[in-house]
Chain A
Amino acid sequence: MPAPFLISKQDNGKLSETSREIFREQFDTLEPGQYFVQFKPHKTARFTATRYKWWFDCVLALALPKVRQHFGMANKRTGEVTYPDTVEQLHHILKIVYNPVTIVTADGTGIRTVGQSTTGMPDKDFIGEFAEQIIADFSGAPYYAFPDTGCPDREEWADMYNTGEWHSFKQKK
């Protein structure tokens, strides 16, 4: 039977090479049959703020309640309008608004604008342009998404996380 094991999902959404090896090793120990698997989060004492952890857990989590009503998604077929409920949905919308790419078919028809992935962006572009522009926009009217002290940057957020303050800070907003 496999032993408990620790894996890491990276900022690019993929498992690290070591984690993949651990998974492979653990699966190899299994007999054929059905298994119930449950993932449990693990918190380390020294937390490093990677850009996506900060982006989703800090920037988007603080902004979501204040900005969601400004980003309705209309279903063209049914006309139904829904609003983002999760930070992942909000991120998807922000990619379309702030990092769009237009797809043009060979005959010039079927033009679509979609959100381009941000995973390939270097930190300089992601934090310095994409994130900074959104934080600036969300800081003012009509959103006023962040507390008076502003949106915590990565270092401030990591410090709050390491000192245990982040959870209560997030709850208060």
Chain B
Amino acid sequence: MDNKIRNLNPHKPAVAATWIWNERYMASGTGAMEFWDSLSESEQVIARKCIDEIYFALPE
């Protein structure tokens, strides 16, 4: 899919990644999905884990 369209519709772990590594995201000058693609495998695991933990956590 075109990166522009992907960046406009980032998935949940990609959004989480922009918060976890926000300075790098800002410096990258890219959209959320391209930033996601630039992350290492282990970093992507952290972001996915973050979303999983939130999903199973109780509402505030």
CB of A167 within 8 A of CB of B4, answer no
- Tell me if A119 is interfacial: C-beta within 8 Å of chain B: no
Q: Is B26 in contact with chain A by the CB < 8 A criterion?
A: yes
CB neighbors of B among A153-173 (8 A):
159, 162-165, 167-168
Q: Inside 8 A of B26's CB, which chain A residues have their CB? A: 41-43
Chain B interface bracket (under 10, 10 to 19, 20 to 34, 35 or more):
20 to 34
Find out whether the CB atom of A163 lies under 8 angstroms from the CB atom of B15: no
B-facing residues in A123-168 (Cβ within 8 Å): 159, 162-165, 167-168
Q: Is the CB–CB distance between A43 and B22 below 8 Å?
A: yes
Nearest A-chain residue to B8, judged by Cβ: A162
Instruction: Tell me which residues across on chain A come within 8 A of B3, comparing CB atoms.
Output: 163
| Distance (whole angstroms) from the CB of A171 to the closest CB of chain B | 10
Query: Taking the complex as formed, is A37 at the interface, i.e. its CB lies under 8 A from any CB of chain B?
Result: no
Q: Which chain A residues (12-50) contact chain B, with CB distance < 8 Å? A: 40-46
Query: A interface, how many residues as a size bin?
Result: 10 to 19
8 Å CB contacts to A: which residues of B20-37?
Answer: 22-23, 25-26, 28-32, 34-35
Known contacts A45-B14, A45-B15, A45-B32: does B22 contact A163 (CB below 8 Å)?
Answer: no
Give the residue name and chain of the B residue nearest to A168 (CB).
B29
- Given A41-B26, A43-B26, A168-B29, A159:B15 Cβ within 8 A: no
In Å, the complex CA distance between A89 and B14 comes to 38
Q: List residues 29-55 of chain B with CB under 8 A from any CB of chain A.
A: 29-32, 34-35
Q: When chains A and B are docked, how far (Å) is the Cα of A100 from the Cα of B7?
A: 41
Complex: how many Å from CA A159 to CA B30?
12
| Complex CA distance for A41 and B25, rounded to whole angstroms | 11
CB distance from A22 to the nearest CB of B (A): 16
Q: Are A164 and B30 in contact (CB under 8 A)?
A: yes
Q: Judging by beta carbons under 8 Å apart, are B8 and A45 in contact? A: no
**B18: shortest Cβ distance to chain A, in Å?**
4
